[in-house]
Amino acid sequence: MTVLSGPERLGIMGSIDRLYSRVTTPYVFHLEDDWAFDGSVDWTAAIAMLNDRSDVANVCVRAIDEIKEKYRARSESIVVAGRDFRIMQTTSHPEFFAWSPNPGMIKISTYRDYAPFARVHPDQMSGLMKKDGLRQAFLQPGVARHIGQGRNVVDPTMRERPKSRPQKWLRAIKKRMYYAGLRKEPF
């Protein structure tokens, strides 16, 4: 095992870049410290999904019932390597459901295609991947549950998210214009 540490706080995406850039295997499983597992990950099925479906960027092992029902309804059932998955539709959300820092596996080649990750927020990275037709698959049943709600650490590398309703509307308009090809910068 190699432990990477440094004196500066890089934020989640900078930390991903520091770690993933050193990976020499074809796949990387992303995991953070605020997840509880109630079962084992079916590595064979996760790898099979990534190899069988070129439109899947990430195989997430989060329990899908933690995702809002309106988004779960925008997924399709599929069986790969004898395991059930739910694949999110590309229209399920403008940004979410292509890649996320939830516990999941991606091909290291996918990371390299989009590196550096530190240039955007996690949901924005997912949006960039979705723009290219990629999406996320959830292994069924999911084996990880989020236990870190409300205990996030401020990421010093990212701009603060909009809080007021007009700021949120402006961000939503900018996103839609970007995805429609009317803006060069997404946010």
Report the run of H or E that residue 81 belongs to, with start and end.
none
**What are the φ and ψ backbone dihedral angles of 37, each rounded to 5 degrees?**
-105, 135
pLDDT at residue 26 in the model: 98
Q: Looking at residues 48-53, what average pLDDT do you find?
A: 98
Does the pLDDT of residue 53 top 80, yes or no? yes
CA distance 60 to 102: 7
Q: Is 83 helix (H, G, I), strand (E, B) or coil?
A: strand
Model pTM score = 0.83
Instruction: Give the pair of three-digit tokens for residue 94.
Output: 């403008």
The single-letter DSSP state of residue 161 is P
Strand partners, 35: 146
Residue of 48 and 170 predicted with greater confidence: 48
**Amino acid (1-letter code) at residue 19:** L
pLDDT digits (tens, 9 = 90+) for 23-39: 999 999 999 888 999 99
Q: What is the dihedral of CA 88, 93, 98, 101, to 10 degrees?
A: -110
Sign of CA dihedral 17, 144, 150, 172: positive
List the single range of 128-132, 148-152, 164-168 with lowest mean pLDDT. 148-152
Q: Quote the pLDDT of residue 156.
A: 60
> 99-120, pLDDT tens digit by residue?
999 999 999 999 999 999 999 8
pLDDT, tens only, 168-185: 888 888 877 877 778 877
* Three-state secondary structure call for residue 9: coil
Angle of helix 122-131 relative to helix 165-179, nearest 10 degrees, comes to: 30
Tabulate helix, strand, coil % of the chain (nearest 5): 35, 20, 45
Q: List pLDDT tens digits, range 66-92.
A: 999 999 999 999 999 999 999 999 888
- Asked if residue 53 lies in contact with residue 59, where contact means CB atoms within 8 angstroms, the answer is no
